[in-house]
A = this chain, B = another copy of it.
Amino acid sequence: MSRTEISEFGEFGLIHHLTKNIELQNVSSIIGVGDDAAVIDHFGKQTAITTDLLIEGVHFDLMYTPLRHLGYKSVVVNLSDIYAMNAIPTQITMSIATSNRFSVEALDEFYEGVYAACEKYGVDLIGGDTAASQKGFIISVTALGEVNPDKIVRRSTAGIGDLICCSGDLGASYLGLLFLEREKKIYLESPGVQPDLEQESYVIGRLLKPEARKDIVEFFEEKQIIPTSMMDISDGLSSELLHICKASECGCVIYEEKIPVSEETRKAAYKFEIDPTACALSGGEDYELLFTLRQEDYEKITLQEKISVIGYITEAGKGETIITKAGNAHPITAQGWNAFKNKI
């Protein structure tokens, strides 16, 4: 494979190279890459905006993360935040900083993933910045989305008696990480050993190439459901539940047996001799949606197998409780993916 040095392009050449094939998809994208700022238009809608910073060695490990997947995921994790407002993502900006360890071909691979995500989710890349980094690969993404003012769903508006629901299944991504970290360790100790991760493709795929729940937000629209509160599950179910309860000034009860965990995740958890429920509660990086619904909306979701009802909202004084499979009540504690606690 050929290697083109980034310095051969210069900054403007590099930006041009990385963005030359963009075709804007949204009518609201008036001006894209190539001026001081991009310009977007809104026809009576409101704009949701979110931003994430991803740092090599903290948020991802290039030893086992293909650049294409990394580009894809960098976009998806931001879109997930937009969907969590019940909004439709429309534009992103993408900034990267890299050292000369990267070739232009490597960046192309990363951007292939970025563009694949943009295409899949119908968003336009409209701007960004490239810079040199002293160490490691740094990614900053900002995503914008549109939402009708009467459809925005916040974290702070859950009501007593509301059903607590989540999409998809939880805990897989964390187990994917455990497998890859274990294989990395083995590889570093004995580089000749080929890892066999085929059996774990589900949990590893969930870590390396997560999807945002566009389909769930579309389902809400189709069924005319407006959740009473919503957020995406990036730090683990416990942490997000506590956020909703704090913001909404309420308590909650959830049932361990109702928490959706896939068969693949269960098997993977048993290999590491850890509790699959703990992975769902504290694992993080699932990018599923956690939301609350009025009880009268229950019928609208009963046939929707992608949605699980896991509990209900209680009064503030009642605390946050999980009822285990054995029938015991325990307080829910946040042991989420805390970058500062774990990594600094």
The tally of residues in A whose CB lies under 8 Å from a CB in B reads 79
- A127-B51 contact given A132-B58, A132-B340, CB 8 Å threshold: yes
A135 to chain B, nearest CB (A): 4
- A11-B247 contact given A35-B155, A85-B36, CB 8 Å threshold: no
A224 to chain B, nearest CB (A): 21
Contact of A36 with B155 in the complex, beta carbons under 8 Å: yes
Q: Mark A116-159, 1 if CB is under 8 A from B, else 0.
A: 00000000001111111111101010111101010010111000
Most chain B CB atoms below 10 A, which of A39, A55, A99, A243 = A39
- Of the candidates B49, B80, B344, the one whose C-beta lies within 8 Å of that of A7 is B344
Tell me whether A31 is interfacial, beta carbon within 8 Å. yes
Tell me whether A81 is interfacial, beta carbon within 8 Å. yes
Tell me whether A42 is interfacial, beta carbon within 8 Å. yes
**Could you tell me the distance between the alpha carbons of A95 and B143 in the complex, rounded to whole angstroms?**
13
**Residues from chain B with Cβ under 8 Å of A187 in the complex:** none
**Residues from chain B with Cβ under 8 Å of A40 in the complex:** 46-47, 49
- Of the candidates B39, B97, B142, B247, the one whose C-beta lies within 8 Å of that of A34 is B247
**Residues from chain B with Cβ under 8 Å of A100 in the complex:** 344
- A340-B37 contact given A51-B142, A57-B134, A134-B58, CB 8 Å threshold: no
Contact of B50 with A344 in the complex, beta carbons under 8 Å: no
**Residues from chain B with Cβ under 8 Å of A62 in the complex:** none
**Could you tell me the distance between the alpha carbons of A47 and B140 in the complex, rounded to whole angstroms?**
20
A131 to chain B, nearest CB (A): 5
Contact of A46 with B51 in the complex, beta carbons under 8 Å: no
Q: Mark A239-267, 1 if CB is under 8 A from B, else 0.
A: 00001000100000000000000000000
A87 to chain B, nearest CB (A): 7
**Residues from chain B with Cβ under 8 Å of A132 in the complex:** 55, 58, 339-340, 343-344
A234 to chain B, nearest CB (A): 9
A128 to chain B, nearest CB (A): 6
Contact of B50 with A127 in the complex, beta carbons under 8 Å: yes
A window 16-74: CB within 8 A of B: 30-31, 34-42, 46-59
Task: Name which residue of chain B comes closest to A14, CB basis.
Answer: B340
**Residues from chain B with Cβ under 8 Å of A14 in the complex:** 340
Tell me whether A325 is interfacial, beta carbon within 8 Å. no
**Residues from chain B with Cβ under 8 Å of A46 in the complex:** 30, 39-42
Tell me whether A203 is interfacial, beta carbon within 8 Å. no
A window 75-126: CB within 8 A of B: 80-82, 84-85, 87, 91, 93, 95-97, 99-100, 126
**Residues from chain B with Cβ under 8 Å of A339 in the complex:** 11, 130-132
- A340-B7 contact given A58-B132, A81-B36, A140-B140, CB 8 Å threshold: yes
Contact of B85 with A39 in the complex, beta carbons under 8 Å: yes
Tell me whether A232 is interfacial, beta carbon within 8 Å. yes
Could you list some 7 contacts between A and B, CB below 8 A?
A35-B231, A36-B80, A36-B85, A39-B46, A40-B47, A51-B95, A55-B131
